[in-house]
Amino acid sequence: MLRTAEITAELTGLVGSGDDFHNLHWRSKLEFSVDCFVCERTGRTTVYECGAERALCSGSRSGFGRHYTAGRIAAYDTTSGKDRLGLRALVDFWWAPFEDTRDGRAGQAPTSHPWVRLHLGYYCRKAKEGGTGSVQTNLVRPHELRCAHCESVMATDATTPAVRLLT
């Protein structure tokens, strides 16, 4: 059956002007853990990209390798306020019941330990170079996002991204 999960995230303390402005923004790619009916394993990291008609499951180390699966980003809205950067994504994915081929656990939608990683991009005016970063569920918070070139703080990651099953 088709399931839809809502993923929301927010960064605060965004530096919005002057030389420390880094044009920090969400990139159109995310990784999301799914109980995968194709390789029949729970908690598989699956890569989604805006505009792609399918998602890529990381599979398992033995036997079933990486494979495409039925999933896509159905909506991707970013918001930027004075000092905050928000993201709301809707992810559609196909889910069917199965038992994990390794440990016999029943597959769930969403997976019993939802995990997400969201990607960021920026541009450093001082170094005249671009950079990338990410935030993910299992991080110690609050955590400062710093430019890899000039080490300026660009924003603060104070809230764990939320994953909510809508249908």
Binding site for Zn ion (CB under 5 A): 36, 38-39, 44, 57, 124, 147, 149-150
Nearest to 6 by CA among 98, 144, 114, 82: 114
User: At its nearest, how many Å lie between Zn ion and the CB of residue 47?
Assistant: 11
Residue showing tokens 């923004």: 25
User: At its nearest, how many Å lie between Zn ion and the CB of residue 20?
Assistant: 8
User: At its nearest, how many Å lie between Zn ion and the CB of residue 67?
Assistant: 6
Q: Which is nearer to Zn ion, 70 or 162 (CB)?
A: 70
Q: Which is nearer to Zn ion, 88 or 105 (CB)?
A: 105
Distance, CA of 58 to CA of 36 (rounded, Å): 10
Q: Which is nearer to Zn ion, 38 or 47 (CB)?
A: 38
Q: Which is nearer to Zn ion, 79 or 101 (CB)?
A: 101
Q: How many CB atoms lie within 10 A of CB 54?
A: 13
The string of DSSP codes covering 25-55 is EEEEEEEEEEEETTTTEEEEEEEEETT-SSE
Nearest to 116 by CA among 84, 91, 151: 91
User: At its nearest, how many Å lie between Zn ion and the CB of residue 104?
Assistant: 17
Q: Which is nearer to Zn ion, 46 or 163 (CB)?
A: 46
Q: Which two three-digit tokens encode residue 39? A: 């390789």
User: At its nearest, how many Å lie between Zn ion and the CB of residue 110?
Assistant: 15
Q: Which two three-digit tokens encode residue 7? A: 């993923």
